[in-house]
Amino acid sequence: MDDAKIVDSLQHNSREFNLVLGATLAVSLVFLFLSAVFGEALVDLLVDDDDPSNVRVPVWERSNLPYKTDGEFGVALEVGPYEILPTENEWNSTHHFVEYSLPLEEGGAAPNGLISLAVWRPNVPEGVKVPVIAESGPYFQEASVQTPTIEVPGSWLGQMFIDQILPHGYAFAQISVSGTGRSNHCMDLMGTAEQLGNDAAVRWLAEQAWSNGAVALIGKSYDGSTPWQAAMFGSEHDYLKTIVPISGLIGVKELMWKNGSSEARAPIMHNGVYGSYGIDGDEEDYQNLCPDYIIGPGTGVGAWAWGGEAAGDYWAERYFLDRVLENYKGSVYLIQGMHDWNVDPHMAVPTINKLIDAGIEARGLFGQWDHDYPDRPVQLDERSDLGGRGGEAFPEMIRFDWMQDMLEWFDYYLKGIGPQPGQWIEVQSNQGSWRIEDRYPPSDTTELLFDLGGNLSLVDGTTTVLPDASSGPVYETEPLPTALHISGLPRLHVEVTTASIGGQLYALLEDCDEQNNCIHLAHAIMDLRYHEGGDEVQTWLPVAETITARMEFFAMDVEVAAGHTLRLSLASTGEDYLPASTSSVVFIQEGQGSTLQLDVFDPAERRYFTPPVCTHERCLSVE
């Protein structure tokens, strides 16, 4: 390899530091590692081309590169030149407390907030400053998730980033949110104290002498929600350059309520699910007696009982997206499982389009997995079931190129290296095919209508829906003359009358073959007090007045074969949703005012691609 070209390339692509020192040794180590892991193919690929960036190709060309596809997770093609900086402990981390001010009304430890975090750094030449990738959440140093101390890398994400991304010149940090681990105050469940703590941690990481001032937040589930919190804080410094929320929350109420309908866990989420975090029997446990911790259970029960805020602004305080759209100046890489049972895909769809419309640079990765990372063959196999719950898309869902994706994303947004990653959405259908969309839901679809009692014929049950979920109508189309490719957020608008003000509708949409074997496509639910959609409670005259329930399905991307039928079943509840608190019999009105509305597209007009093919034993065993 031509050393002069290495120097020219690195000086051109790096704004803040020069990687030329030790280049010969670093390249040698890279080749030795790649030869051991991948064999001679990739080494030859790099040796034959003077520009190692030849592994950075568009996603539709990655299947031509020798990715490692038989392991337990993805591995980046590029190997960084740096080792980890040794510290006094066996994990090569350092621990720090970050002080921040808490409003007195937060109670607990206010005004003296304290956030616990651990940092891993690369061993770079003196004077070289590095960006920071951080994960913030409640699980570090909590016995229930087996992390003995925050200084130990998380086995779910941290160890991968320390092994693969840190050697490219990145620091990595783990942050305990307020009331968890060694952070003080109460377990605030994404409230103001937690938000301020995340912002303080980001600022601290950006302002360290070894930091280049650029910070990223990444994580899944709860840890995928904290990036949204930190992104709410617009500032003149703009330390937070990019976030990678993986199945994270844009708001807490939005997680557990859909059109007023409540999940079973909703009333107990704050204290019942996370209440024990931070309570370890020491003298600081009194700090958990902050106001929001005390009223937490009441807010959940109240929202189920009569909708909206039970007291104060508990839910409004915990909605993040509006402030992100208003204040955030960084980028977003949004990752979501289309079959996520824990964090439903309405957290990402149509959020991705709202980001784009706000001028935020955004990318999406939406696969047919559930509540997990995109590159774990064992977990994705175990959690994907046939029958429309991800199984039909396995193993094509597995993205062994994800870590390379992360490296290229962070290089650009934290260092300014390389071309800008594609601003698109990679979405997978329920049958496994991957394609590129510039928006999601797409803007160039065709609406297809089916009316209840018309081309959706009543095939079972009656038009009366009882509140005990024991009855309801089942509608079905004739066999489809051509295949349908359905994308986005289908709607079901149903004209109904009710026996009293209240009631609830659950809709299940299925794909049924010629042998009457049906698979789940999507579902929707609505408390009829919210029949116009949104957050405003409606009223009407029971029995006498007809209302239209404007239901929206959770995001779906499906292929329905020609000759199959679409089946729509209605009941009072389903999945893991509670019965409505305002129980009522619901009478369905058939006709052209009650329609299923699907958004379809022509696959010939789309760019499809095949990711690196999984060769893990779990994938090879699939018939």
* CB-CB contact of 587 with 41 (8 Å): no
pLDDT, tens only, 543-590: 999 999 999 999 999 999 999 999 999 999 999 899 998 899 999 999
Confirm if 399 and 160 have CB atoms less than 8 A apart.
Answer: no
Band of the pLDDT at 17, cuts 50, 70, 90?
A: very low
- State how far the alpha carbon of 593 is from the alpha carbons of 344, 383, 533, 551, in Å: 29, 39, 17, 13
Q: Which residues pair with 608 in a beta bridge?
A: 435
Q: Is 95 helix (H, G, I), strand (E, B) or coil?
A: strand
Q: Per-domain residue ranges for the chain?
A: 3-55, 446-600
Element (H, E) at 157: none
> What 3-state class would DSSP assign to 452?
strand
Which of 108-112, 268-272, 469-473, 474-478 is modeled with the greatest confidence? 474-478
pLDDT for the residue numbered 311: 60
Tell me the three state secondary structure of residue 248: coil
| Extended beta strands in 282-433, E state | 331-337, 362-367, 425-428
Position 301 scores a pLDDT of 82
Three-class secondary structure of residue 594 per DSSP: strand
Q: Contact 435/60 with Cβ under 8 angstroms?
A: no
Strands 556-560 and 457-460: unpaired
Superfamily of domain 446-600: Galactose-binding domain-like (2.60.120.260)
pLDDT digits over 523-555, tens only? 999 999 999 988 888 999 999 999 999 999 999
CA pair distance 338, 486, nearest whole angstrom: 14
Single-letter code of the amino acid located at 140:
F
User: Taking residues 178-206, what's their average pLDDT?
Assistant: 94
**What average pLDDT does the segment 494-509 reach?**
97
pLDDT of 514 > 90? The answer is yes
Radius of gyration from C-alpha coordinates of the chain: 26
Q: Tokens 């600022």 identify what position?
A: 203
Look over the chain and give the mean of its residue pLDDT values, rounded to a whole number: 89
The residue among 456, 552, 548, 561 whose CA lies nearest residue 517 is 561
Q: What is the reported pLDDT for 9?
A: 36
Q: Please, are residues 128 and 14 in contact by the beta-carbon 8 Å criterion?
A: no
Mean pLDDT of 166-179: 97
C-alpha angle 272/278/283, rounded to 5°? 125
Give yes or no for residue 324 having a pLDDT over 70. Answer: yes
Instruction: Assign 593 to helix, strand or coil.
Output: strand
User: Which pLDDT band holds residue 37 (cuts at 50, 70, 90)?
Assistant: very low
Question: If you count them, how many residues does the chain have?
Answer: 623
When pLDDT is averaged across residues 291-305 and rounded to a whole number, the result is 80
What per-residue confidence (pLDDT) applies to 365? Answer: 98
Beta strands, E only, 58-170: 94-101, 112-120, 130-137
What whole-number percentage of the chain has pLDDT above 70? 87
Q: Given the structure tokens 């175990």, which residue do they identify?
A: 382
CB of 262 within 8 A of CB of 254? Answer: no
pLDDT at 286: 65
Cα–chain-centroid distance for residue 7?
A: 38
Is the per-residue pLDDT at 34 higher than 50? no
Single-letter amino acid code for the residue at 150: I
Per-residue H/E/C for 55-74: HCCCHHHHHHCCCCCCCCCC
Neighbours of 99 (CB within 10 A): 10
Percentage of residues of the chain with pLDDT beyond 90:
75
Report whether pLDDT(381) > 50.
yes
User: Cβ distance 374 to 383 under 8 Å?
Assistant: no
pLDDT band with cut points at 50, 70 and 90 for residue 622: confident
Given the structure tokens 């997990």, which residue do they identify?
Answer: 372
What was the pLDDT predicted at 283? 59
Residue 112 and residue 110: Cα distance in Å, rounded?
Answer: 5
Give the pLDDT mean for 54-80: 96
CB 108, CB 102: distance < 8 Å = yes
Whether the CB-CB separation of 319 and 272 falls below 8 Å is answered with: no
First to last CA, the chain: 44
The C-alpha atoms of residue 170 and residue 130 are separated, in whole angstroms, by: 5
Helix then strand count (H, E) for the chain reads 15, 26
Mean pLDDT of 94-116: 95
The answer to whether residues 568 and 475 touch, using CB atoms and an 8 Å cutoff, is yes
Q: pLDDT tens for residues 216-266?
A: 999 999 999 999 999 999 887 899 999 999 999 999 989 888 888 888 887
Rounded average pLDDT over 2-31: 36
Q: Rounded to the nearest 5°, which phi and psi values hold at 403?
A: -65, -35
User: pLDDT tens-digit profile of 140-150?
Assistant: 988 666 678 99
The token pair at 14 is 């790096």
- Distances in Å between the Cα of 544 and the Cα atoms of 254, 497, 499, 541, 586 are 32, 7, 9, 6, 13
Q: Quick check: helix, strand or coil at residue 131?
A: strand
Residue 94, strand partner residues: 119
pLDDT value, residue 209: 98
pLDDT band for position 106 (50/70/90)?
A: very high
Q: What is the predicted pLDDT for the residue at 303?
A: 79
Which tokens go with 528?
């009829």
390 token code pair: 């991800």
pLDDT at 32 over 60: no
* Mean pLDDT of all residues in 114-132: 98
